Structure 1
Amino acid sequence: MPCLILRLDAPLMSFGGVLVDQHNPTDRFPGRSMLTGMLANALGWHHQDTEALNSLQARISYAARWDVPPEPLRDYQTVDLGQTHLANPGWTTRGAPEHREGGTAKRGIHQRDRHYWANGVMTVAVTVPPGEPNVATLAAALRHPARPLFIGRKACLPAAPVLLRVRESDDAYHVLASEPRDPRAAADTRFFEACWPPGTTAPATESRQRQNRTDDRDWRTQAHVGLRPMITGYLTEVPPCT
């Protein structure tokens, strides 16, 4: 089946996590909802397109690999949202106004501790079964996105085009294992931290390295839901960049 090969390369990236109060952690790997949001943004979809978003999310399977391991970064933020220039809708580069929804929380002083990955480079293989949108449609949208793309948060702008190429493979794990590493990966790196879907490697290995993740979103309620298994470990035979 065709597979999207993505290169997540940005000064800062954030992959969400379990949110408690004002603390915004980041997971080690992107979640399925984050990839869904990025693809939907490229397609020009909106949060109101809940059926399409839930359908696309359910079809996505992926594997991810750190080619250049990142550094953790914590950003303390505070802002008074009641200021006049923040309280009113603002115009975007797309020629349409944008403003915050919500009740009293959209006013007043807010504080956040947001966590990011800095200076890392990740390769991601994404597959979707036959249906719409298909891989060709998604690839075209990533090449010419309807809106600017970001990696987890709007401040996390990619430093290079997100789509590397489209390849054929039986599954996301095997295409990722055979995809050359980024040129910036250290030449002596033997172990590449990665995650992949279950059912593609040895059962004994998967039983030791299985983790349950809450990385799906119910796009109707904007809440993360459920538990989904992923395997975390290391890839050891990643070909060099040619």
Structure 2
Amino acid sequence: MLRFDAPLMSFGGVLVDQHNRTERFPGRAMLTGLIANALGWNHGDAEALNALQLRIDYAARWDVPPTPLRDYHTVDLGQPHLAQPGWTTRGAPEHREGGEAARKGTHQRYRHYWADGVMTLSLALREGIPNLDAVAAALQRPARPLFLGRKTCLPAGRLMIGQREAADTLSALKAEPRDRRTSPEATQFEACWPLGCIDPEVENRQRESRTDDRDWRLQAHVGLRPMIVGHISEVPPCT
């Protein structure tokens, strides 16, 4: 069981022109990257990342609904101090690729975030390595600092809040008490979960197709995967 609590979160939506959008809920690729970062894996571990991604099931709910926030960035890459290669945390200079405009032009970006929200997630792994115990240990003592979507989105506390046995991720999510900051008047919680957890006729009316998997070898999002998006009410109060 995880709790995402941060001043800002971003869940990687479809990039349109200069707008870096965010989805309402995290995708399977983001959760794969989060776990892999905790384990100390690298982007080059494509085979292991693809295998881990296929084993993930999850459900998520907003305990405290977030506020949308749009951040505006602009930079003139033609400035003298930006014309030279920059150094990265990997200890090697990074060269900007592309044409003249990409290397020296003025760039504008709009990055979209969720602000001041609190989300609870239940995460399960199908059989394989690493198992849930290894992932739980890594999330509690991560190999590297963790972030929720972008490197600027640092969590306000530990991500893991416990472990729970249940028939599926939705059942586990419904059994997990709401966050202490949840409004006392809240009776419905916006949530998402995988297929097969509730009545199929209801699911068919709430099904969405999401491009939330990543081909880690090509470094590109791929495919369409169904998820159910709706509301749940069977959430116990904070203890």
Pick the aligned partner of 2:154 from 154, 157, 177.
157
Alpha-carbon distance between aligned partners in 2 of 1:117 and 1:235, rounded to the nearest angstrom = 21
Q: Are residues 1:97 and 2:91 paired?
A: yes
Q: Superposition RMSD on alpha carbons, in Å? A: 1.6
Point out where structure 1 has 5 or more consecutive residues left out of the alignment. Answer: none
Moved over 6 A (4+): none
**Are positions 1:169 and 2:166 aligned together?**
yes
Q: TM-score when scaled to structure 2?
A: 0.93
* Partner of residue 61 from structure 1, selected from 51, 57, 76: 57
Letter in 2 for 1:168: E
Distance change in 2, residues 1:142/1:101 (3 Å): farther
Q: Secondary structure at the match of 2:163?
A: strand
**Structure 2 matches for 1:23-172, cutoff 5 A?**
23-81=19-77, 84=81, 87-90=85-88, 92=89, 96-97=90-91, 100=94, 103-104=97-98, 107-108=103-104, 109-172=106-169
2: CA distance, partners of 1:174 / 1:99? 48
Look up the equivalent residue of 2:62 and give its one-letter code.
W
Query: Are the aligned partners of 1:78 and 1:112 in contact in 2 as well (CA < 8 Å)?
Result: yes
Deviations 1:101-128 (A, max 9, x none): 6523773332211100000000011000
Distance 2:232 2:92 in 1: 43
Work out the percentage of aligned pairs sharing the same amino acid.
Answer: 61
Distance 1:101 1:59 in 2: 36
Moved more, 11-20 or 108-117: 108-117
- The one-letter code sitting in structure 1 at the alignment partner of 2:218 is T
Amino acid aligned to 1:54: N
- Alpha-carbon offset, residue 99 of structure 1: 5.3
1:231, distance to aligned residue in structure 2 (A): 0.4
Find the residue that maps to 2:120 and give its secondary structure.
strand
- Report if aligned partners of 1:87, 1:107 keep a CA contact under 8 Å in 2: no
The structure-2 alpha-carbon separation of the partners of 1:99 and 1:201, relative to structure 1 and needing over 3 Å to count, comes to farther
Q: Distance in 2 between matches of 1:101 and 1:37?
A: 24
| 1:239 equivalent in structure 2 | 236
CA offset digits 1:30-82 (Å, max 9, x no partner) = 00000000111101111100000000000000000000000000001112446
Where do 1:186-201 residues align within 5 Å? 186-201=183-198
* CA-to-aligned-CA distance 1:82-107 (integer Å, 9 cap, x gap): 653673214x4xxx526546523773
Residue segments in structure 2 that go unaligned for 5+ positions in a row: none
**Is the 8 Å Cα contact of residues 14 and 117 (structure 1) preserved in structure 2?**
yes
Q: Please say if residues 86 and 95 of structure 2, whose CA atoms lie closer than 8 Å, have aligned partners that are also in contact.
A: no
Does the 8 A contact of 2:55 with 2:127 survive in 1? no
Residues 170 and 197, structure 2, Cα contact 8 Å, conserved in 1: yes
- Provide the rounded CA distance (Å) in 2 between the counterparts of 1:59 and 1:215: 14
Q: Is this contact kept in 1: 2:85–2:96, CA < 8 A?
A: no
Q: What is the number of residues matched between the two proteins?
A: 234
Q: Secondary structure at the match of 1:41?
A: helix
Q: Structure 1 residue 223 and structure 2 residue 190: aligned?
A: no
Query: 1:232 and 1:99 mapped to 2: Cα distance?
Result: 43
101 and 136 in structure 1: CA distance in 2 versus 1, 3 angstrom threshold: farther
Amino acid of the structure 1 residue aligned with 2:175: S
TM superposition score normalised by structure 1: 0.92
